Amino acid sequence: MDLINKSDNNFEQCIKCTVCTVYCPVLAVNPDFPGPKHGGPDQERLRLKMPSFYDEANKFCMNCKRCEVACPSNVRIGDIIQKARLKYSRHKPTVRDFFLSHTDLVGTISTPVAPIINSSLKLDSTKYLLEHVMQIDHRRLFPTYTHEKFVSWMKKQEEEQRRFKKQVCYFHGCYVNYNYPSLGKDLVKVMNLLGYGVQLLKKEKCCGVALISNGYFAQAKIQGRINLNSIRKAAQNNISTIATSSTCVLTMRDEYPHLLELDNKDIKEHIELATRFIYRLIEDDHFDLSELKFNQKKWKVAYHTPCHLEKLGWEYYSIELLKRIPNIELTILRPNCCGIAGTYGFKKENYDYSQKIGAPLFKEIEEGNFDYVVTDCETCKWQIEMSTSKKCLHPITLFAMALE
């Protein structure tokens, strides 16, 4: 409730209580980062006076939004820092930043030659080159590329999917399309069992989160506009758009209006996380899950809440879905950041910090003796699989597995 006039970036609501500094994962490991309070509301006062006060060390902000979740005064600290980067940073993106952020372009080039790319990304010589030429840390494992893009597979399903009376659009995101189509296939399977046909959006571009964090705001805005138009078109036909990636959802719902100044008010409620959409089916439409044939496999599962899902406040829906799998032994992991923050953890200058941030999470996972770790974010998955001995799945995948 906006009771009092506030500025666009409500920094004046900050009462300097320091709570955000306690929950900033970066500040805990990297003293070069000014921190959410100082880099956010404190320095904003100075920047408004004179843009040259902008501190380039704000680039260390991962935009995880943990400061915003913790803030008792509802200050949009993460947005303040990201907006300041957008407005004042003199840093120009590098070749590496281009490569990491233009996921559609890189994905389109890579998928036709996926086997070659995948095996060469594992070579020491490639890693050496990536580190020394591109400043991408040699220890970072890349997700493998798929030979058949998810959208190509979906085109073959069109006819069958159209048979369902009820329809939903799927915003698959770059990772499902270029790297991990099996998650998309799991989603189609689950939605079909729930009585929904799945279709693609008229036109889908990368949500733009990597572009935003690497300084390509104009390009992010172009892609955002395309996505919003597609989602709008679907909404006009009363079809909601669901996504499996929590970060894509957060970006399209919150970052578009807050950072890119794209108006999405009319369709915000049509952008859903898949697990939330399913929750509605079960709770409001009374879909009877006992109609589904669950196998009786026993799994010990740990759920990791991605930072952006915590910001959305929607981990509830994923957890509720998991709880409905018979015989599951579910542990909710402590609210720790995994440290990768999308492209952040790929960068040589961030790699060590990234692993340090994730260390408490990795430790908890290793000590728990779990069969699987489950999370809604693809980059959390990469980080957890690279840094622990456990396989990390999406809740939809585990749900699909329980129905095999």
* Residue numbers at the binding site for other proteins (CB under 8 A): 1, 3-4, 15, 17-19, 21-23, 27-28, 31-35, 38, 42, 68-74, 269, 276, 279-280, 283-284, 310-314, 316, 332
Instruction: Give the nearest distance from C-beta 182 to other proteins in angstroms.
Output: 29
**Closer residue to other proteins in complex, CB, 36/224:** 36
Record the tokens describing residue 131, joined without a space: 């580190």
Residues 346 and 344: their CA atoms lie apart, in Å, by 6
Nearest distance, CB of residue 116 and other proteins, angstroms: 43
Nearer to other proteins, 68 or 204 (CB): 68
Nearer to other proteins, 103 or 246 (CB): 246
The residue among 28 and 86 lying less far from other proteins, judged by its C-beta, is: 28
Q: How far is the CB of 344 from other proteins (least distance, A)?
A: 19
268 touches 253 (CB < 8 A): yes
C-alpha 118/C-alpha 113 separation (Å) is: 9
The number of residues making up the chain comes to 404
- The helix (run of H) or strand (run of E) holding residue 300 is strand 299-303
Min CB(19)–other proteins separation in Å: 5
DSSP state of 181: H
In the complex with other proteins, which residue's Cβ is closer, 33 or 170? 33
Distances (CA, A) of 362 to 75, 137, 232, 355, 386: 30, 19, 40, 9, 10
Of the candidates 100, 179, 169, which has an alpha carbon nearest to the alpha carbon of residue 137?
A: 100
DSSP string for 269-283: GGEEEHHHHHHHHHH
What's the CA gap between 133 and 129, in Å, rounded?
5
- Which of 35/181 has CB closer to other proteins? 35
Closest distance between other proteins and the C-beta of residue 40, in Å? 12
Which tokens go with 387?
């840094």
The whole-angstrom separation of Cα 48 and Cα 26 is 25
Give the shortest CB-275-to-other proteins separation in angstroms.
12
Q: Which is nearer to other proteins, 142 or 314 (CB)?
A: 314
Whole-angstrom distance, CA of residue 220 vs CA of residue 8: 21
Residue labelled with tokens 């709570």: 19
Q: How far is the CB of 28 from other proteins (least distance, A)?
A: 6
Q: Least distance to other proteins from the beta carbon of 201, Å?
A: 21
Least CB distance from residue 151 to other proteins, whole Å?
29
DSSP 41: I
Task: Give the phi and the psi of residue 372 in degrees, each rounded to 5.
Answer: -140, 155
> Which residues have C-beta within 8 Å of that of residue 328, sequence separation ≥ 6?
298, 299, 301, 322, 402
Least distance from other proteins to the Cβ atom of residue 118, Å: 38
Cβ proximity to other proteins, 269 vs 349, nearer residue: 269
3-state secondary structure of 325: coil
Question: Which of 96, 151, 403 is CA-nearest to residue 278?
Answer: 403
| Of 321, 329, 325, residue with least CA distance to 370 | 329
* Comparison of 38 and 258: residue with beta carbon closer to other proteins: 38
Query: Strand 299-303 and strand 372-374: pairing?
Result: parallel
Closer by beta carbon to other proteins, 45 or else 132: 45
